[in-house]
Amino acid sequence: MNPLRLLKDLFAALHGGSDPRHLAAGFALGAAMGLIPKGNLFAVVFLLLFFALRLNKGLALLAATFFTPIGYAVDGLAHRIGLSLLKAPALAGLWTALYDLPVVPLTRFNNTVVLGNLVLGLALFAPLYFFFLRFVAWYAANLAAKVERLKVVQWLKGLWMIRLYQEWTR
């Protein structure tokens, strides 16, 4: 994926070129992707969802990049959440049954930080989705026209390299 293309698509999407639901889904999935630790089957599942679902890929990558350091920052909280879930007597049978399945241990759900960050990502998905839906509507109503009139945006649109790139990618 070309990063310049992703940023161009993101800018175009925020300025009315995309369904706001796709933008919100990209932001929420990217946030969940950023929160979970990498190197386990959950990360692969989120990556498959990234490619399988219809969402704004540029915004998802931007959100994942933004939320990855946040995921590391909340590791203490995630550890406490994961530990409380793994030690819950009512869930002991579930954890044993899951661990006995052939592929499920690759998710590393028995790691307190992985489980805690997964729970945080899933818990934040819906609120982030609806927050970003409102943000896109607010942006379109209040900021889109002002951003278009900024001198730096006009200057960037006028660069011969940008025009050439736009013609080349059509």
Q: Among 117, 108, 106, 39, which residue's Cα sits nearest to residue 82?
A: 117
- pLDDT of res. 69: 96
- For residues 62 and 10, the answer to whether their CB atoms sit within 8 Å is yes
Retrieve residue 97's tokens.
Answer: 């049954």
pLDDT digits (tens, 9 = 90+) for 110-121: 999 999 999 999
Crossing angle of the two packed helices 20-35 and 112-142, in degrees rounded to 10: 150
C-alpha R_g of the chain: 20
Q: Among 76, 61, 4, which residue's Cα sits nearest to residue 31?
A: 61
Q: What is the mean pLDDT of residues 116-140?
A: 94
**pTM reported for the whole predicted model:** 0.79
pLDDT digits (tens, 9 = 90+) for 38-66: 889 999 999 999 999 999 888 898 899 99
Q: Considering the chain, what is the average pLDDT of its residues?
A: 86
More confident residue, 169 or 45: 45
Retrieve residue 82's tokens.
Answer: 């994961």
**Alpha-carbon separation of residue 92 from 44, 81, 87, 102, 152 (angstroms):** 26, 15, 7, 18, 58
Q: Which 3 state secondary structure label does DSSP give 1?
A: coil
Retrieve residue 81's tokens.
Answer: 């959440």
- pLDDT of res. 50: 92
Least confidently predicted of 7-21, 22-36, 97-111 = 7-21
Q: Among 41, 35, 32, which residue's Cα sits nearest to residue 74?
A: 35
Retrieve residue 95's tokens.
Answer: 């954890």
Predicted confidence band at 98 (pLDDT cuts at 50, 70, 90)? very high
